[in-house]
A and B are shown apart, each in its own frame.
Chain A
Amino acid sequence: SQKIEQNSEALNIQEGKTATLTCNYTNYSPAYLQWYRQDPGRGPVFLLLIRENEKEKRKERLKVTFDTTLKQSLFHITASQPADSATYLCALEKTGGFKTIFGAGTRLFVKA
């Protein structure tokens, strides 16, 4: 069955460092991979989309890589700030698909 794996353990880093979150998937060939941020008790908020034919995407302090051979995406937040503390969700969608499927998310804590 389709499976998305994100590190279930929380990631604790110091302010100013780069946070790197991992998303691995199996039994799936996504055309699109998205990253969302979710704060406690709130709905997810879209951050970045990367397509299967793209290797890397950047937006301000965020960078996403997509390796369809390894079936893996890495999500980087550079110069991290305490305000970046949240849960980050990886999501996949096929071309012409009707549903976006989500991983369980990784909780990030940035300490001042």
Chain B
Amino acid sequence: ETGVTQSPTHLIKTRGQQVTLRCSSQSGHNTVSWYQQALGQGPQFIFQYYREEENGRGNFPPRFSGLQFPNYSSELNVNALELDDSALYLCASSLVMGDGGELFFGEGSRLTVL
């Protein structure tokens, strides 16, 4: 059973550019959530995908968008990057939704916006 994997692990972009982050969920998990974690802060919920549909969204602007594919892997896209988007982006998969199911996190993608 493979865990949650994310790519790339590190990347540097400039303000105004676009970025795509990828996540492969744990085998058998149909729910994927994305979080943004700034330095010294807790993870902030961006959105969740369940069976290829966005199931809920946090307080993030529309330039944060995502996709989930039939194999339950997922992408996070951020357009028009801003300096404040610099953070660790975490993907978490889970087997159940809304039942307190534990989240299995990947190691994250560290994004730096210059």
Residues of A within 8 A of B108 (CB): 41-43
How many residues in A have their beta carbons less than 8 Å from beta carbons of B? 29
Does B66 belong to the interface (CB within 8 Å)? no
Q: How far is the CB of B108 from chain A (nearest CB, A)?
A: 5
Question: If A99-B45, A101-B45 touch, does A51 touch B103 (CB 8 Å cutoff)?
Answer: no
Residues of B within 8 A of A46 (CB): 102-104
Instruction: Point out the residues of chain A lying under 8 angstroms from B99, CB to CB.
Output: 32, 95
Segment at the interface with B among A14-22, A76-84, A102-110: A102-110
A43 touching B107, Cβ below 8 Å? yes
Q: Which residues of A contact B102 (CB under 8 A)?
A: 34, 46, 49
| A31 touches B (CB below 8 Å) | yes
Let me know if B41 is at the binding interface, CB within 8 A. yes
- Cα A105 to Cα B98 with chains together (Å): 22
Task: Give Cα A96–Cα B106 distance, bound, in whole angstroms.
Answer: 24
Q: A44's contact among B48, B90, B98, B110, by CB below 8 Å, is which?
A: B90
Residues of A contacting B43 in the complex (Cβ-Cβ under 8 angstroms): 44, 89, 102
Q: How many residues of B contact A (CB 8 A)?
A: 29
Interface string of B28-46 (1 = CB under 8 A from A): 0000010100001111110
Are A93 and B42 in contact, CB atoms less than 8 angstroms apart? no
Shortest CB distance B54–A (Å): 10
In the complex, are the beta carbons of B42 and A104 less than 8 A apart? yes
Closest-by-CB residue of B relative to A98 is: B56
Listed in ascending order, the chain B residues whose CB lies under 8 Å from chain A are 4, 33, 35, 40-45, 48, 50, 55-56, 58, 88, 90, 92, 97-100, 102-108, 110
